[in-house]
Amino acid sequence: MNVYSFSPFGYEGSLVAVEVDLRRGIPAIDMVGLAGGAVRESRERTRVAIKNSGFEFPPERILINLSPADIKKDGAGFDLAIALAVLAAKEPASGGALPAEETGAVLVMGELELSGRIRPVRGVFAAVSSALEQGIRRCIVPLANGAEAEAGGMAVSACDTLAEAFAALKDCAHEIPSPEAPRRNVRDGTVEFPEMAHGFEFAGIKRQGQLVRALQIAAAGAHNLLAYGPPGCGKTLALSRFPALLPFLTDEEARPVTRIHSLAGYARGEPLIRTPPFRVPHQSASLEGIAGGGRGCMPGEVSLAHNGALFLDEAAEFRSNVLQTLRVPLEAGEITVSRAGRNSVYPASFQLLVAANPCPCGNFGSRDKVCLCSARSVEQYWKKFSAPLLDRIDLRVPVFPEAEPARGAQRGESLFVPAAAASTAELRVAVGNAVRIQRQRQGKRNRFLSPEEIRQYCVTDGGADAALSCAAADYGFSARGTASCLKLARTIADMDGREVIGEAHMKEAVLFRKHEGGFAFSF
């Protein structure tokens, strides 16, 4: 029986073969294979755990090899694999050996307590996924990690003690591995939403119809959004309820999300994480915390928000280099994290939600309050975002205090929609329709359409073409801005169930996109 474990590093990680050789000599344990500190310490943990579990520890000299030898192994997840490999290598006379003629492979992960109990470890789902790619169909994991392992589609033995794990290993040596469970790819048109929790009802948001409408469009097409306005106008309140508009992930979308959260140690005890992530980092977050890195190339917030949303509240308070780091993953949908001669590519396809004040003091454009900021300080404030970053945000929404009417409309365009407050259930209907159409039509959300797919799917009528041409001339849209309007209009048309983009769809898309560049925002 070949015993394998897993060394988490970055998104991919590495399968590690645990080999044990018993030979005559002074009793000792030698370990080779570039083992880290925690792995080397497992020699004493496994020795005591084996004795306390009722087994006899081999009196021979023991050589433990962790291969491949050129990859550093870190973490305490090797304890259980080493202990089982030692027990499996004992002489038949000891009563613990496995039949020599039996062959096979099993993935083993778990940290041992001195009593022989097994503690949970991180990265189990990632390990199972990697093992399946190598043809391994059986695994032994801690009881607390059983749900993670079952999502991979292999035969799982979730154990609480070393004795249970060794019994499972002997069973694995005589069992025929079950075939991998088929993976469902949900593209059947079913769109479901999580059960609405307390505090996520949009009907309680008054006189912010324009912002709520923008959030509905953002959820329907996975578009990025910026809301800016004075403090206390309701930006954070509305954006914090955005998760209520996000439908469950498909199997295809949930697997990388589960893998990333498993590697980070944030597994939720469910087979697949189907609820879209919603990450809200603090303004003091470092570049490493947002992009990822550190010991073992851990995922950052942009990866933890994969297939979900990343909400930056008071975004101007974040460091400039942190904000600029978002440009690459927003465009590519992935981020490369490098450390000590190794690199790892994490998925990072997320929605960016940004809330910001109009100036450092927050009173710029207010009728009842005086702004104490100079023109230069306001300009420097908005320069922290940079035009390239803002150019990747499709929806730009000015938010006004409840007591102030909207100002700054041009040519009769209203920046405020005086409509009755819609409930979350009502908003979900149009979002679900749009998401279902996009999954069936192109298999991805409208924000990620390529230029070729825009020409194929964003079919417009004459009125929509004229509205877009006029807006591009009036507002000086860049090429990305024009494409953004088309994708926004495609989402709005999907919400209405229309195949062709009409003039009303395009005008609404232009209304949300028309603020182009950095210090062009006004009230």
User: Do 214 and 157 share a structural domain?
Assistant: no
| Interval 5-48: pLDDT, tens | 999 888 988 999 999 999 888 889 999 998 988 899 999 999 99
User: Do 356 and 262 share a structural domain?
Assistant: yes
User: What average pLDDT does the structure give for the chain?
Assistant: 87
User: Do 353 and 274 share a structural domain?
Assistant: yes
* pLDDT value for 351: 96
Residue 189 lies in a domain: no
Residue 187 lies in a domain: no
* pLDDT value for 411: 39
Residue closest to 169 by CA, chosen among 151, 157, 185, 187: 157
Residue 281 lies in a domain: yes
Alpha-carbon distance 224 to 353, whole Å?
6
Answering whether pTM is above 0.85, one says yes
Low-confidence ranges of the chain (pLDDT < 50): 91-97, 99-102, 179-188, 403-419, 517-523
Residue 271 lies in a domain: yes
Alpha-carbon distance 21 to 64, whole Å?
7
Residue 403 lies in a domain: yes
Residue closest to 245 by CA, chosen among 290, 194, 294, 183: 194
Question: Residue 476 — left, alpha, or beta (φ > 0 → left; ψ -120 to 50 → alpha)?
Answer: left
Identify the residue whose tokens are 């877009």. 468
| Residue that is last in its domain, among 159, 174, 189 | 174
- Phi, psi of 18, rounded to the nearest 5 degrees: -105, 110
Q: Domain holding 114: CATH number?
A: 3.30.230.10
User: Do 154 and 240 share a structural domain?
Assistant: no
User: Do 124 and 15 share a structural domain?
Assistant: yes
Residue 197 lies in a domain: no
Residues pairing with 64 in the sheet:
20, 31
User: Do 475 and 388 share a structural domain?
Assistant: yes
| Residue that is last in its domain, among 174, 194, 214 | 174
User: Do 170 and 82 share a structural domain?
Assistant: yes
Alpha-carbon distance 217 to 60, whole Å?
68
User: Do 206 and 133 share a structural domain?
Assistant: no
User: Do 250 and 169 share a structural domain?
Assistant: no
Residue 77 lies in a domain: yes
DSSP H/E element including 80: helix 79-88
108 close to 139: Cβ distance less than 8 angstroms: yes
User: Do 339 and 303 share a structural domain?
Assistant: yes
Structural domain count, the chain:
2
Q: E-assigned strands of 357-484?
A: 395-398
User: Do 222 and 130 share a structural domain?
Assistant: no
Q: Domain holding 252: CATH number?
A: 3.40.50.300
| Residue that is last in its domain, among 174, 190, 216 | 174
Residue 192 lies in a domain: no
Alpha-carbon distance 315 to 109, whole Å?
40
Assigned token pair, 82: 């080493």
| Interval 251-283: pLDDT, tens | 999 999 999 999 998 876 668 899 999 999 999
Domain that holds residue 403: 202-513
User: Do 162 and 239 share a structural domain?
Assistant: no
